[in-house]
Structure 1
């Protein structure tokens, strides 16, 4: 690919670099990913990679930002406004858990960044803003549920969101070790449906006022 073409399509070049870097970081982590391999897969050169992202670490942070951004954009775009609060919680949870199952790259990157104790995510100036739309969506649902008497008061939307995501994340990210340890395949579609239903019931039971719990 000529340098002239790269200059004429800066957004395309940046996008291809991010896509190639996502593959490398997913497979090899930050330490094992190679800048030359990323540049080759993106159809550009290392100089352009450094031009757009400054360093390998800068590119890694950009990949994390893009992955979290896609996740937040998808979840915040789910239209739950016409649904009863309990059903809105159910659909939001299922949407998030489905995304986790369908995007193993996202899980690999998160697991890798946890090995780095989150130090690269801390460099991001936009990461905490990314989560806000999803938490705001959940806050609105909880407020509607409280107003109708379906949900109890005092639920922290961020804590609830972290709990909700954690339920789905654990089952997906640990599916191989869970099968080895328990002999049960939680990647199986029927098993996924069963445990997702259990998780939703647990979440809704927590949200109900004490005198409304079965």
Structure 2
């Protein structure tokens, strides 16, 4: 049965507000973001934002949750259990790098939340649930790879997750200063391809029994 027009309009408005808020928070952080700008971009008024999402802090938390849910959902769709362990690990590294490149707002939102010492994530039960599911997925991959003799035993899935994220995250968050310090355009197409190859090789050498 079709949803009533009023309900569809409300959902469309919420979606526009969230999309506008994501851009504003990613660009200016929580402190610098303005609800007026979000309302203007979303073609909504401030009363509607407060009605649907509460205050600016509440809206930021929802945007942050949605950002994490998006990447965690995309990771689950990789279906790593159906791929040989080494190929699955390479696919995860490749996905993480590509996701960061295609979704730069995710990185800036995470940076902003770290400035606030994760006070919004601390209140989120949803983040705990989706993050646990991701860690469990990587743990199963490591167990399967170890059982098949492809991976070294005893690798902590949390440490591996942090390392996979870090080798892409650091490169991209420091791309401007890095381009000056290392005297190369870190965002040139060939440089990005080279970095992905390096990331994959680094993780495989860390985890695999032999290459």
TM-score by length of 1: 0.89
Cα separation, 1, equivalents of 2:118 and 2:180? 28
Partner of 1:16: 16
**Aligned pairs for 1:17-166 within 5 A:** 17-166=17-166
- Which sits farther off after the overlay, 182-191 or 160-169? 182-191
Cα separation, 2, equivalents of 1:156 and 1:184? 34
Cα separation, 1, equivalents of 2:202 and 2:29? 35
Cα separation, 1, equivalents of 2:177 and 2:35? 32
Asked whether the equivalents of residues 17 and 38 of structure 2 are also in contact (C-alpha less than 8 Å), the reply is yes
Asked whether the equivalents of residues 25 and 109 of structure 1 are also in contact (C-alpha less than 8 Å), the reply is yes
Cα separation, 2, equivalents of 1:25 and 1:31? 9
The superposition leaves residues 150-203 of structure 1 with CA deviations (integer Å, 9 ceiling, x where unpaired) of: 112111111111111111111111111100111122212212222222222221
Runs of 4+ in 1 over 6 A off after TM superposition: none
Partner of 1:178: 178
Matched pairs, number? 208
Structure 2: 5+ residue runs without aligned partners?
Answer: none
Asked whether the equivalents of residues 6 and 44 of structure 1 are also in contact (C-alpha less than 8 Å), the reply is no
Cα separation, 2, equivalents of 1:6 and 1:111? 37
Structure 1: 5+ residue runs without aligned partners?
Answer: none
TM-score by length of 2: 0.91
Cα separation, 2, equivalents of 1:125 and 1:6? 30
Asked whether the equivalents of residues 152 and 208 of structure 2 are also in contact (C-alpha less than 8 Å), the reply is yes
Q: Displacement, 1:35?
A: 1.1
SS of the equivalent of 2:149 reads coil
